[in-house]
């Protein structure tokens, strides 16, 4: 158990050190472009967000730190970086924070009454919005009676923006539900006041179930756009009365991702569906459209093309002449390649600037270098790169970096032609850099603001299949002082979930801790993963449980072929969600291959899951079936789903298996893990089940994540 103890020690030790979570410009770096080489040094500021989890205290702490950067007069070198003391912002519930263009003001919002309920009615009411200046709070408003929780920028529906004069801010919040009523209790006498002839008792609404957008969005059903003319004394926020065109026959009740420029606002409207909204978390294929309107909500017009599309992240150019957004088909796999589309107001035309070949999370909130040029990050194979687009010439190219090219470069903010980026890789936590971009440059050399934290010897490699349609990442422990005496490394195979996601060349603290404990970690990006081609991605639906399983085994063998320090006699497997589905299939189809297994919220019976998950469409797609209403499912459909599932093969499993489930999981219902657990017990396989009553699909709360890590480390330690 010494290896498990060391991994746990490293987990706790590294959790105590805050790491970079993001950053933003807080001064006008664009001024550098106009400076002559003979002028005085340039002084600029960047705000950095840091954070870490403290397992013993079961809390997540966040900090903000200002970097004062003194550059040489040429603007291309950093003379000094002065770091202010980190300000602990743990108790400041800034669920939304967006800076004005001048950097003088910030809009923030807090939702002190967070929480949801099993009927989807908890919407985190009691929101308060604030305008913060450099010397403190300038305006504040209590919005409890107006709306529910204010949605942050990283929420699926969130958005906030100042008008050009910075006197008004627009934001997205959950609409308040109708007033709850009952026909008993303290307010029951209201029913006695009914006029003669009226019905005395009416249906109570207190426990009525309302729509929500599923996993991670309990309490979020209908949203709206609000505005606050904060510089007018005594003015409170108000709802913007947006009326979608009457010719629009869809059921669009969720508005979000608002952007503002000039006298226009742009926003996205989600179709709530005829039956119910399908889960939105991790799903960029929901039916949406981009609209523009006047700032008072009038003259609403759809600018994205008609058809069944998913259009997200509208971003105005600085001069307001165009809007760009990411667009994909609203069907099939939940994640796939997106196009980048631009609408030009002068011509009213839409132009595809980037074909549907890039795998984008979201366009950065601030992405524009000029009124025609912008940058964004996207996945290509397992690397995250920065791309440049010029609307005027329809140019699209990856920005060539001269430093640390293998890893994940993510755009954090843009100011003028200066781009704030983070960089990380599997062996190294995130660092922060800035570069000034000129399209004629052959390469870019970022200036270092925060060095990536010392990895103390972790190593990683990437190997690609001969066909170039898959790859495998290998994270290795530090080299021993005497390599000739070193033992082979026990290996943890980690198939990712989705299945249409990927493991990028990013840093994962959990797996780094295992590596410091002496394990090698193998991450297979099998066919169906993001970052390769659409043909590769679309090859998996209808073959889940066979093709992906075969690919994972072949990629594991590829890792063993190229890394002789990996021990094939001590192979473990640990996966969550679809990765749990693969863990189940792998241990059933290869019963003698794995020493032990652990699975988090695994899919084990698609046929049973389809009726209760927030993503029934996933069940159809991955089983190779056309999507249809639940009431239309046939016996043949159920048979196809059952055939793709691992549960019918549970009797073949020999590997001791740890099962971890969140009782509030709406994506993969908790009974899926229990089915596997009880199946193992019935067949005499050693197994344990851990149930986390307050956690959902990611098992991400501090207490839960720590408990999961410790239990998996101890479980694997028993069998190594």
**Confidence at residue 70, expressed as pLDDT on a 0 to 100 scale:** 80
Q: Report yes or no on 292 lying in a domain.
A: no
**Other beta carbons within 10 Å of 678:** 15
Number of domains in the chain: 2
- Buried b / exposed e along 534-554 (16+ C-beta atoms within 10 A): eebbebbbebbbebbbebbbe
Answer yes or no: do 615 and 676 share one domain: no
Q: Which two tokens stand for residue 633?
A: 């499912």
Q: Where among 644, 662, 696 does a domain terminate?
A: 644
Q: Report yes or no on 512 lying in a domain.
A: yes
* Residue found under tokens 């340039």: 42
Q: Where among 644, 673, 692 does a domain terminate?
A: 644
CATH number of the domain where residue 662 is located: 3.40.50.1820
Q: What share of the chain is helix, strand, coil (3-state, %, to 5)?
A: 20, 35, 50
**Confidence at residue 6, expressed as pLDDT on a 0 to 100 scale:** 79
Answer yes or no: do 670 and 593 share one domain: yes
Nearest alpha-carbon partner for 95 in 83, 77, 113, 80: 113
**Confidence at residue 197, expressed as pLDDT on a 0 to 100 scale:** 54
Q: Report yes or no on 600 lying in a domain.
A: yes
Answer yes or no: do 524 and 632 share one domain: no
Q: Report yes or no on 318 lying in a domain.
A: no
Answer yes or no: do 700 and 615 share one domain: no
**Confidence at residue 69, expressed as pLDDT on a 0 to 100 scale:** 81
Answer yes or no: do 585 and 526 share one domain: yes
For residue 275, give every residue at least 6 positions away whose Cβ sits within 8 Å of its Cβ, in sequence order, or none: 629, 630
Q: Report yes or no on 154 lying in a domain.
A: no
Do residues 84 and 78 make contact, with C-beta atoms less than 8 angstroms apart? no
The string of pLDDT tens digits covering residues 74-93 is 665 666 778 777 787 776 65
Answer yes or no: do 595 and 506 share one domain: yes
Answer yes or no: do 534 and 479 share one domain: yes
Question: How far apart, in Å, are the Cα atoms of 77 and each of 72, 400, 438, 449?
Answer: 6, 19, 16, 11
Question: What is the Cα–Cα distance from 683 to 399, expressed in whole angstroms?
Answer: 55
Q: Report yes or no on 672 lying in a domain.
A: yes
Answer yes or no: do 541 and 673 share one domain: yes
Answer yes or no: do 470 and 530 share one domain: yes
Q: Which two tokens stand for residue 356?
A: 């549907």
Q: Report yes or no on 265 lying in a domain.
A: no
**Confidence at residue 482, expressed as pLDDT on a 0 to 100 scale:** 41
**Confidence at residue 40, expressed as pLDDT on a 0 to 100 scale:** 55
* Residue found under tokens 């996945």: 379
H helices, E strands: number in the chain: 11, 37
Answer yes or no: do 569 and 683 share one domain: yes
Domain span at residue 587 reads 459-605+650-719
Do residues 660 and 708 make contact, with C-beta atoms less than 8 angstroms apart? yes
**Confidence at residue 120, expressed as pLDDT on a 0 to 100 scale:** 45
Q: Report yes or no on 277 lying in a domain.
A: no
Q: For the chain, which residues score pLDDT lower than 50? A: 30-38, 114-121, 188-192, 481-483
**Confidence at residue 708, expressed as pLDDT on a 0 to 100 scale:** 95
Answer yes or no: do 672 and 576 share one domain: yes
**Confidence at residue 32, expressed as pLDDT on a 0 to 100 scale:** 44
The string of pLDDT tens digits covering residues 652-687 is 999 999 999 999 999 999 999 999 999 999 999 999
Answer yes or no: do 522 and 657 share one domain: yes
**Confidence at residue 118, expressed as pLDDT on a 0 to 100 scale:** 39
**Confidence at residue 96, expressed as pLDDT on a 0 to 100 scale:** 77
Supply the DSSP string of 495-537, one letter for each residue. Answer: --SSSS----S---HHHHHHHHTT-EEEEEE-TT-TTS-HHHH
**Confidence at residue 100, expressed as pLDDT on a 0 to 100 scale:** 86
For residue 501, give every residue at least 6 positions away whose Cβ sits within 8 Å of its Cβ, in sequence order, or none: 282, 335, 529, 530
Do residues 282 and 613 make contact, with C-beta atoms less than 8 angstroms apart? no
């Amino acid at each position: 158990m010494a290896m498990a103890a060391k991994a746990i020690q490293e987990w706790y030790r590294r959790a105590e050190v805050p790491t970079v979570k993001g950053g933003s410009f807080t001064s006008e770096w664009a001024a550098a472009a106009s400076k002559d080489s003979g002028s005085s040094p340039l002084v600029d500021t960047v705000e950095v967000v840091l954070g870490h989890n403290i397992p013993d205290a079961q809390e997540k702490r966040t900090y903000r730190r200002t970097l004062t950067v003194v550059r040489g007069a040429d603007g291309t070198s950093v003379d000094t970086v002065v770091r202010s003391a980190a300000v602990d912002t743990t108790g400041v519930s800034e669920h939304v924070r967006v800076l004005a263009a001048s950097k003088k003001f910030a809009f923030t919002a807090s939702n002190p009454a967070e929480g949801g309920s099993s009927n989807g009615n908890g919407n985190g009411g009691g929101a308060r919005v604030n305008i913060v200046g450099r010397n403190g709070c300038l305006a504040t408003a209590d919005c409890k009676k107006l709306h529910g929780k204010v949605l942050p920028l990283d929420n699926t529906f969130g958005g906030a923006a100042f008008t050009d004069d910075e006197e008004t801010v627009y934001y997205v919040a959950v609409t308040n539900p109708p007033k709850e009523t009952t026909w008993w209790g303290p307010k029951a006498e209201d029913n006695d006041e009914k006029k003669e002839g009226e019905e005395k008792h009416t249906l109570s609404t207190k426990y009525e179930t309302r729509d929500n957008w599923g996993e991670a969005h309990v309490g979020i059903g209908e949203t709206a756009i609000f505005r606050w003319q904060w510089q007018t004394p005594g003015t409170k926020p108000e709802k913007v009365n947006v009326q979608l065109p009457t010719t629009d026959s869809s059921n669009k009740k969720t508005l979000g991702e608002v952007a503002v420029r000039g006298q226009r606002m742009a926003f996205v409207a989600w179709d709530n569906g005829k039956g119910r909204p399908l889960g939105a978390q991790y799903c960029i294929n929901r039916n949406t459209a981009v609209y523009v309107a006047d700032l008072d909500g009038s003259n609403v017009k759809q600018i994205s093309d008609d058809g069944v599309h998913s259009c997200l992240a509208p971003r105005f150019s600085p001069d307001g002449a165009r809007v760009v957004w990411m667009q994909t088909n609203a069907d099939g796999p939940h994640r796939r390649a997106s196009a980048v589309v631009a609408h030009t107001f002068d011509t009213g035309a839409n132009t595809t600037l980037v074909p549907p070949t890039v795998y984008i999370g979201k366009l950065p909130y601030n992405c524009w270098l000029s009124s025609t040029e912008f940058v964004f990050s996207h996945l290509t194979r397992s690397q995250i790169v920065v791309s440049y687009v010029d609307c005027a010439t329809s140019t699209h190219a990856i920005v060539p970096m001269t430093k640390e090219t293998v890893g994940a470069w993510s755009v954090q903010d843009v100011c003028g032609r200066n781009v704030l980026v983070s960089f990380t890789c599997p062996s190294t936590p995130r660092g922060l850099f800035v570069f000034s971009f000129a399209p004629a440059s052959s390469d870019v050399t970022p200036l270092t603001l925060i060095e990536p934290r010392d990895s103390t010897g972790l190593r990683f490699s990437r190997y690609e299949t001969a066909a170039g349609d898959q790859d495998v990442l290998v994270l290795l422990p530090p080299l021993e002082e005497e390599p000739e005496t070193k033992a082979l490394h026990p290996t943890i195979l980690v198939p990712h979930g989705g299945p249409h996601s990927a493991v990028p060349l990013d840093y994962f603290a959990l797996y780094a801790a295992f590596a410091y404990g002496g394990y090698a970690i193998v991450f297979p990006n099998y066919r169906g993963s993001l970052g390769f081609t659409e043909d590769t991605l679309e090859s998996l639906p209808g073959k889940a449980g066979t093709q992906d399983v075969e690919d994972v085994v072949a990629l594991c063998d590829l890792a063993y072929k190229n890394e002789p320090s990996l021990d094939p006699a001590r192979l473990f497997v640990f996966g969550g969600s679809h990765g749990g589905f693969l863990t189940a299939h792998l241990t059933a189809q290869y019963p003698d291959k794995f020493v032990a297994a652990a699975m988090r919220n695994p899919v084990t019976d698609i046929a049973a899951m389809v009726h209760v998950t927030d993503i029934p469409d996933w069940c159809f797609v991955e089983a190779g079936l056309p999507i249809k209403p639940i009431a239309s499912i046939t016996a043949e459909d159920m048979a196809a789903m059952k055939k793709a599932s691992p549960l019918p093969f549970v009797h073949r499993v020999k590997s001791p298996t740890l099962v971890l489930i969140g009782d509030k999981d709406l994506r993969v219902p908790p009974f899926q893990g229990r089915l596997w657990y009880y199946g193992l017990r019935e067949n005499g396989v050693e197994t344990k089940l851990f149930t986390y009553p307050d956690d959902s699909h990611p098992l991400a709360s501090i207490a839960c994540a720590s408990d999961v890590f410790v239990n998996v480390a101890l479980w694997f330690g028993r069998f190594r």
